[in-house]
C-alpha cells in the first residue's frame, strides 16, 4: 500500500508509474485519497482540540468544587457535556473518513520501478537473459500429459474423480520425483543462507491484506467461509506475515527464509490447450524464498535472488529465459518482477516457472513492518519474494525435455534425491 505522504509529495511520479500499468482513473483516485486525508487530518485536529478543551474544563470543575463554587462547576459541567457529544461525533466522523481513505489506498497498485517498461500484457515483456540448449527431440516427442499416462506417473482423471479438474494424483516414480524436487530446492536454498520454515496452509483475512492478495485477488483464493480463513495461493503469504506488526533492529536485517507449501488457486476462467496437464493447476507444490531487506540493499538482494534461481536451472540443465515484466503485466503489489520461463520442446512454447519480485515498502506499509534505522527512527523495510521453484511446469519441462526412446531420464543433480536415473 502506498503511503499518503509519498503520494502527496510525489503525485506526478505516482501518476507516471500508474500510467505504465494502464491504471484507469489514476488522477481521480489520487485526488480522492488526498482530499480524504485532508479531511482526516482536519477532523483529527478538531477532535484533539475538543478533547483538550474538555480536559481543561474538567480540571477547572474540580477546582470549583474544592473551593465550594458549585454553581460555576455545574455551568462548566453543562459545557463539558456538549464537548463530549461533539467529540463523539468527531470520533465517528474520523473513523468513517479513515476507513474511506484505507479503501481508496487498497485500490492503488504499487508504483513500478524506473526500469519497468510500459506495456499492456505479456507480449510487451522484455527478455533480458537466455541460457541453455533446447534439445532436438525429433518428430516423435510427446507432451507431458501423454508421457505421464504412458509411464503411469501422474493421473489427472483420478484427481478429477476425487476432487475435480486441476488436482492431479502423483504415483510411483512421479511422486518420488516430485518429492526429490522439493528436497533439492530446499537444500539449495538453505545452502544459500535461507532459513527453512514450515508455515500454516490457511491464513486469516489480516494476512491476506498484509501481503496484498486481498482485496486484489479475492476471487482467485479458496475461502473457508465457516472459519473465515483462506487457503494460501503461495507460501509468500504466511512466511511474510510472520513479521506483521514487528519492529526489527537494523542488525537483524536481512531476513532470508524459505519454505515448501502446497498452493491453492481457483484460476477462474482458465481453459484451453495452454492450461492442459501440469500447465495450470488448482493445487500445486512450490518452494518459496522470502527476504526482508534494508531499503538500500533490496535491489542488490533481488539481483542475488535472480542469480540463485539461475544456478538451480543450470544444474537441472533446462533451457530458460528471463523476462522483465512490463507495467501492464507486473503484479499489483510488485515494483519490479523478473519472470523465469523454461522452454518446453514438446509443446514448442515457453512456460513460466518462477518470479522474483521486489515490493519495496508496499507490503511493509500494509504489514506495519519496520526497522529502527541508524538515526533511531522507525522506517519501513523492503520485502521481496521468489519461487525456487514452482513444481508443476518444472516437472513438465523435465518430463518433456528429458524424454528418450528408453524412457524419461532424470537430471543428474536429482538422481541422489530420487534413487533412480530413469522412468520407464
- pLDDT at residue 300 in the model: 98
The residues facing 349 across adjacent strands are 344
Asked whether residue 112 is domain-assigned, the answer is no
Which one of 43, 77, 106 terminates a domain? Answer: 106
- 70 and 179 belong to one structural domain: no
Structural domains counted in the chain: 2
Answer whether the bond into residue 67 is a cis peptide, omega within 30°.
no
Asked whether residue 152 is domain-assigned, the answer is yes
Asked whether residue 14 is domain-assigned, the answer is yes
- pLDDT at residue 216 in the model: 85
Asked whether residue 70 is domain-assigned, the answer is yes
The residues facing 321 across adjacent strands are 130, 341
- 102 and 127 belong to one structural domain: no
Asked whether residue 111 is domain-assigned, the answer is no
- pLDDT at residue 423 in the model: 98
- 101 and 182 belong to one structural domain: no
Asked whether residue 168 is domain-assigned, the answer is yes
Answer whether the bond into residue 389 is a cis peptide, omega within 30°.
yes
Q: Would you write out the chain's pLDDT as a tens digit for each of its 424 residues?
A: 999 999 999 999 999 999 999 999 999 999 999 999 999 999 999 999 999 998 888 888 888 787 887 777 778 878 888 899 999 999 999 999 999 999 999 999 999 999 999 999 999 999 999 999 999 998 889 999 999 999 999 999 999 999 999 999 999 999 999 999 999 999 999 999 999 999 999 999 999 999 999 998 888 999 999 999 999 999 999 999 999 999 999 999 999 999 999 999 998 655 555 679 999 999 999 999 999 999 999 999 999 999 999 999 999 999 999 999 999 999 999 999 999 999 998 899 999 999 999 999 999 999 999 999 999 999 999 999 999 999 999 999 999 999 999 999 999 999 999 999 999 9
- 69 and 134 belong to one structural domain: no
Q: Which residues of 327-363 are buried (b: 16+ CB within 10 A; e: fewer)?
A: bbbbbbbbbbbbbbbbbbbbbeebbebbbbbbbbbbb
The residues facing 264 across adjacent strands are 283
411 dihedral zone (left: phi>0; alpha: psi -120 to 50; beta) = beta
- 50 and 93 belong to one structural domain: yes
Which one of 53, 74, 106 terminates a domain? Answer: 106
Contacts of residue 178, Cβ cutoff 8 Å, sequence gap at least 6: 170, 285, 391, 395
Residue 368 lies in domain: 122-423
What gap in Å lies between CA 266 and CA 77, rounded to an integer?
60
- 257 and 326 belong to one structural domain: yes
The residues facing 336 across adjacent strands are 358
Q: At 41, which CATH number?
A: 1.10.287.40
- pLDDT at residue 78 in the model: 82
- 199 and 288 belong to one structural domain: yes
Report the alpha-carbon angle 29-213-297, nearest 5.
Answer: 85
- 100 and 130 belong to one structural domain: no
The residues facing 230 across adjacent strands are 203, 223
- pLDDT at residue 268 in the model: 62
Which one of 80, 106, 132 terminates a domain? Answer: 106
* Residue 255: DSSP 8-state: E
- 67 and 138 belong to one structural domain: no
2 exposure class (CB count in 10 Å sphere: 0-12, 13-18, 19+): buried
Asked whether residue 116 is domain-assigned, the answer is no
- 131 and 71 belong to one structural domain: no
What gap in Å lies between CA 275 and CA 282, rounded to an integer?
11
Q: At 212, which CATH number?
A: 3.30.930.10
- pLDDT at residue 272 in the model: 57
- 62 and 151 belong to one structural domain: no
- 73 and 38 belong to one structural domain: yes
Amino acid at each position: 500500500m502506498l503511503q499518503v505522504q509519498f503520494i502527496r509529495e510525489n503525485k506526478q511520479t505516482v501518476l507516471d508509474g500508474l500510467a505504465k500499468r494502464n491504471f484507469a482513473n489514476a488522477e481521480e483516485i489520487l485526488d480522492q485519497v488526498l482530499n480524504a486525508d485532508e479531511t482526516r487530518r482536519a477532523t483529527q485536529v478538531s477532535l484533539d482540540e475538543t478533547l483538550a478543551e474538555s480536559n481543561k474544563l474538567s480540571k477547572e470543575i474540580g477546582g470549583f468544587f474544592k473551593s465550594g463554587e458549585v454553581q460555576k462547576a455545574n455551568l462548566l459541567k453543562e459545557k463539558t457535556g456538549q464537548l463530549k457529544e461533539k467529540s463523539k461525533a468527531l470520533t465517528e466522523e474520523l473513523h468513517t473518513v479513515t476507513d474511506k481513505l484505507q479503501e481508496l489506498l487498497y485500490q492503488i497498485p504499487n508504483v513500478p520501478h524506473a526500469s519497468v517498461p510500459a506495456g499492456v500484457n505479456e507480449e510487451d515483456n522484455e527478455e533480458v537473459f537466455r541460457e541453455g540448449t533446447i534439445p532436438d527431440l525429433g518428430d516423435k516427442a510427446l507432451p507431458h500429459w501423454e508421457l505421464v499416462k504412458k509411464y503411469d506417473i501422474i493421473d489427472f482423471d483420478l484427481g478429477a474423480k476425487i476432487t475435480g479438474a486441476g488436482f492431479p494424483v502423483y504415483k510411483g516414480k512421479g511422486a518420488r520425483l516430485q518429492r526429490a524436487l522439493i528436497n533439492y530446492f530446499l537444500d539449495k536454498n538453505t545452502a544459500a543462507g535461507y532459513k527453512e520454515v514450515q508455515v500454516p496452509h490457511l491464513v486469516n483475512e489480516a494476512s491476506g491484506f498484509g501481503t496484498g492478495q486481498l482485496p486484489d485477488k479475492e476471487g482467485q483464493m479458496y475461502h473457508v467461509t465457516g472459519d473465515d480463513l483462506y487457503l494460501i495461493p503461495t507460501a509468500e503469504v504466511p512466511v511474510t506475515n510472520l513479521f506483521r506488526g514487528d519492529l526489527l533492529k537494523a542488525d537483524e536485517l536481512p531476513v532470508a527464509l524459505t519454505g515448501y507449501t502446497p498452493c491453492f488457486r481457483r484460476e477462474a476462467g482458465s481453459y484451453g490447450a495452454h492450461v492442459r496437464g501440469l500447465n495450470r493447476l488448482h493445487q500445486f507444490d512450490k518452494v518459496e524464498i522470502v527476504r526482508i531487506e534494508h531499503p538500500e540493499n533490496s535491489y542488490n538482494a533481488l539481483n542475488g535472488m535472480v542469480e540463485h534461481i539461475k544456478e538451480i536451472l543450470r544444474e537441472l540443465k533446462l533451457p530458460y529465459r528471463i523476462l522483465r515484466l512490463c507495467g501492464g503485466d507486473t503484479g499489483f503489489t510488485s515494483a519490479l518482477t523478473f519472470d523465469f520461463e523454461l522452454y518446453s520442446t514438446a509443446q514448442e512454447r515457453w512456460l513460466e516457472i518462477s518470479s522474483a519480485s521486489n515490493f519495496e515498502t508496499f507490503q511493509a506499509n500494509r504489514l506495519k513492518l519496520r526497522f529502527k534505522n541508524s538515526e533511531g527512527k522507525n522506517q519501513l523495510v523492503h520485502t521481496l519474494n521468489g519461487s525456487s521453484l514452482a513444481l508443476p511446469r518444472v516437472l513438465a519441462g523435465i518430463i518433456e525435455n528429458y524424454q528418450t526412446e528408453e524412457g524419461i531420464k532424470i537430471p543428474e543433480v536429482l538422481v541422489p534425491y530420487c534413487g533412480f536415473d530413469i522412468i520407464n
